[in-house]
Structure 1
Amino acid sequence: MIPVVETKAVSDDVASAFEDFARAFEAFKDANDTRLSEIETRLASDVVTDEKLARIDTALDDAKRRLDRLALDRSRPPLGGNPDTQRDPAQAEHKSAFHAYVRSGEATGLKRLEEKALSAGSGPDGGYLVPDTVEREVLRRLANVSPIRAISSVRVISGGQYKRAFSTAGPATGWVGETAARPQTASPTLSEMSFPAMELYAMPAATQTLLDDAVVDIESWIAEEVESAFAEQESAAFVTGDGVNKPKGFLATETVENEIWEWGRLGTVNTGGAAFPTSNPSDVLVDLIYTLKSGYRQNAAFVMNRKTQSAIRRFKDDNGQYLWAPPASIGQAATLMGFPVVEAEDMPDIALNACPIAFGDFKRGYLVVDRAGLRVLRDPYSAKPYVLFYTTKRVGGGVQDYAAIKLLKFAA
């Protein structure tokens, strides 16, 4: 009966957080409407109203953070007692051997398993592979925490690099009659895109007392410890990474004004200055949306940080309706003009020549490459009395369709 009570308590917390968030947004709208009314009547807003709106805006962001955290915690099932492991003797053997290695440093079982699998990996070579259940859980958690990974295409590879061909000029085609001659078509012009997987590491530490405690779920502990470290590094790389020993972020891609867009660059829409236009500021967002071809708009989303989202939250349409809308239910994203808003704190703030807003179909536009295998190397010597667990995974990424993502650039 205890798990039922805990689940109910968590659900109640999430529902309460969602209600708090909804109430905060209603208070935000009321305060902003008052500010706009003061501007219309006095040509300036009252200082007290501005301060009140700023406080409510901050409270709204805090409520959203709490809601996101509770919703994420609720979506994490425990790793212990996984039914797949119980049914598969090989997985059960790997799990048992891994537990012995993590808790006491006994690597005989893992060495035997990797010899049976004809694996060249060993402790001196960089650690031992974790059980599949742990790797799947880490990747699932990363999909929930890492914003760009959550909306991009993800491909698992067994080598160190993923290559794909793309056509720079498709084959010639045409319409013909049923009995008309079929002229020979031109050959397609192909080029190759390469996505290398770079090494990402985390080094959680534990006391020997924690490892000796049989009640502690070691698999879950490792997943939790590396989750935030991996997600933080991944998120930054997928946005701004330079491609040197890390994935190449989409903002590191060369840009060009969309009127002269060409393959290999990302198209931009300029705002006309270092801030949104004073008159009809949302028009540039409309331009950004319709710069994207209709085939990409169907699954498109906005990507921006929380500070930029705060500025856009005040925009209205011609009918006085707010363009930004809170999530319709728990677990869903806020929307802007009907499109989901993805919060990526590594996106830049609004500034001259910055691109703080991206819009596009990231499933088609950005590719994340995961090399199969998550490794752990136990180190009880470097930080006595703590035991370090040097945990590594290999991941890469980059733009795979330059027509699927557009950027809003604050420039003349």
Structure 2
Amino acid sequence: MTTTSDGLETKAGAQGDIAALFAEFSTAFEEFKATNDQRLGELEKRGSADGLLEGKLDRLNAVLDTNKAAMDRALIERARPQLDGKGMPVDGEYKQAFASYVKRGEEKALSVGVNADGGYVVPPETETEITRLMTAVSPIRAIAGVRQVSGSVYKRPISVTGPAVGWVGETAARPITGSQTLAELSYPTMELYAMPAATSAFLEDAAVDVGQWIADEVNAAFAAQETTAFVSGDGVNKPTGFLDATTVAEASWSWGNLGYVATGSAGALPTANASDVLIDLVYALKAGYRQNASWVMNRKVQGTLRKLKDADGNYLWQPAATADGKARFMGFDLVEAEDMPDIAANALSIAFGDFRRGYLIVDRQGVSVLRDPFSAKPYVLFYTTKRVGGGIADYDAIKLLKFAAS
């Protein structure tokens, strides 16, 4: 537990005490609102606010972010499924063989698990564990569309425009109408790898759950790399991120581009009626997409938006109603992705859209492990790989806010 200079405590190190963390988060947000109300009052009366208030507001923002991160970690720990006996059991002989392979490098003649390169396919329950944990800690994976494929490339046909139609009289001629326009999107899967190491003594310990150990070691590395690629990847040996797409002003939007709304001020929100441009961004998205839309931004940008109010004095940012819920902004879920850019001139710092329809993640089935006891003696390396692809699925389902004059 730590204490700020204002006497505010944060339980960033709390061991799974989710209820206490949530209560502290709620208290901190009430203090944040009171402090910001005081700041806004001074701005209205004097045209400037006390620097002490600004500093306190920044510290409160930090407390809110720290508590939210602690709650997320505690929820991930609590949500981890048991590997043994809780889900769909794998063949006992195969699981035992996999454990022997990890600990001692023993391979038995089991065709289901043998890889041509001498590796081993992770048992399905361990594969599910890695995917489950990545969903919990990778914000884009949690809101995007996900497909499991067995090949190296997933291709998806898209109808860009429908067939032409028209009204006719009962006896009028029926001329041939124009055909619909189809496009094809391709999602190649790229290799994502991690290589945790362990000593032989550690692996020989009978208490070690090797499947859980691999999942824990690989999870953090995979999740961090994935999220970066899904946001800003260039498509070279990695997925293509949605920010890598060509962007155009929303008034000039066409298929193959992402539309943006400009704030009207380089590197900042408008000084007057700052929320108006955010409303414009919401309504740049078609109604069919708004129903399941989410905001995506990083922690610093979220801290800026926490200070905004509507015309009736209500805060546009609202904390989650429950410890395992999401914060909401202007009535839509807010997803925190640290790979999104900070506010700066011409930065695309805020995304808003239906990511389930707008961005597709492609997972090739199978996570494989290659045991290497030779390259880094006395450590045993575990070259763990999976193949992942990603890219925009619907260019009309995601809109961006650009901190620029136009």
Matches within 5 A, 1:303-314: 303-314=296-307
SS at match of 2:98: helix
Aligned position for 1:113: 112
* Pairwise CA distance, 1:37: 1.4
Cα distance in 2 for residues equivalent to 1:302 and 1:188: 32
Shift of residue 331, structure 1, vs aligned partner: 1.0
Q: CA deviation at 1:108?
A: 2.3
- The whole-number CA distance in structure 2 between the counterparts of 1:259 and 1:359 is 17
C-alpha offsets along residues 61-87 of structure 1, whole Å, 9 cap, x if unaligned? 1111111111111111221234521xx
| Corresponding position: 1:122 with 2:126 | no
Q: Does 2:260 match 1:268?
A: yes
Per-residue deviation, residues 226-273 of structure 1 (Å, max 9, x unmatched): 111000000000000000100000000000000010000000000012
**1:129 touches 1:376 (CA, 8 Å); kept in 2?**
yes
1:99 aligned residue: 99
Distance 1:223 1:373 in 2: 13
TM-score normalized with structure 2 length: 0.92
SS at match of 2:385: strand
Rounded to whole Å, the distance in 2 between the matches of 1:332 and 1:83 is 25
Partner residue of 1:204? 196
- The amino acid that maps onto 1:141 is L
Q: Quick check: 1:378–1:388 contact (8 Å CA) kept in 2?
A: yes
Equivalent residue in structure 2 for 1:231, among 214, 220, 223? 223
Alpha carbons of 1:84 and 1:177: their partners in 2 closer, same or farther (altered >3 Å)? farther
Give the aligned partner of residue 189 of structure 1.
181
Matches of residues 46-65 of structure 1 in structure 2 within 5 Å? 46-65=50-69
Report the AA paired with residue 101 of structure 1: Y
| 2:232–2:242 contact (8 Å) kept in structure 1 | yes
1:5 corresponds to which residue? none
Q: For residues 80-99 of structure 1, what are the structure 2 equivalents within 5 Å?
A: 80-85=84-89, 91-99=91-99
3-state SS of paired residue (1:22) = helix
Query: What's the offset of the Cα at 1:11?
Result: 9.6
Q: In the superposition, relative to structure 1, how do residues 68 and 178 fare at CA in structure 2: closer, same or farther (>3 Å)? A: farther
Residue number among 329, 335, 341 corresponding to 2:328 in the alignment: 335
Q: Distance in 2 between matches of 1:170 and 1:104?
A: 59
Task: Measure, in 2, the Cα distance between the counterparts of 1:375 and 1:177.
Answer: 64
SS of residue matched to 2:88: helix
> Which structure 1 segments of 5+ residues have no match?
1-9, 116-120
CA displacement at 1:283 relative to structure 2? 0.8
Q: Which residue does 2:208 correspond to in 1?
A: 216
Q: Percent identity?
A: 58
How many pairs does the alignment contain? 391
Query: CA–CA distance in 2 between the matches of 1:77 and 1:114?
Result: 23
Q: TM-score, normalised by structure 1?
A: 0.91
Question: Where does residue 361 of structure 1 map in the other structure?
Answer: 354
For each residue in 1:381-403, what CA deviation from the matched residue of structure 2 results, as whole angstroms up to 9, or x when unmatched? 12221111100000000001000
Deviations 1:19-44 (A, max 9, x none): 01111111111111111112222221
2:320 touches 2:326 (CA, 8 Å); kept in 1?
A: yes
List runs of 5+ in structure 2 lacking aligned partners: 1-13
Q: CA deviation at 1:175?
A: 5.0
Residue 25 of structure 2 corresponds to residue 21 of structure 1: yes
Aligned partners of 1:168 and 1:260: how far apart in 2? 16
RMSD over aligned CA atoms reads 1.8
1:318 corresponds in structure 2 to 311
Residue equivalent to 2:155: 163
Shift of 1:49: 1.5
Q: Which residue of 1 is the match for residue 243 of structure 2?
A: 251
Of residues 32, 38, 63, the one that matches 2:42 is 38
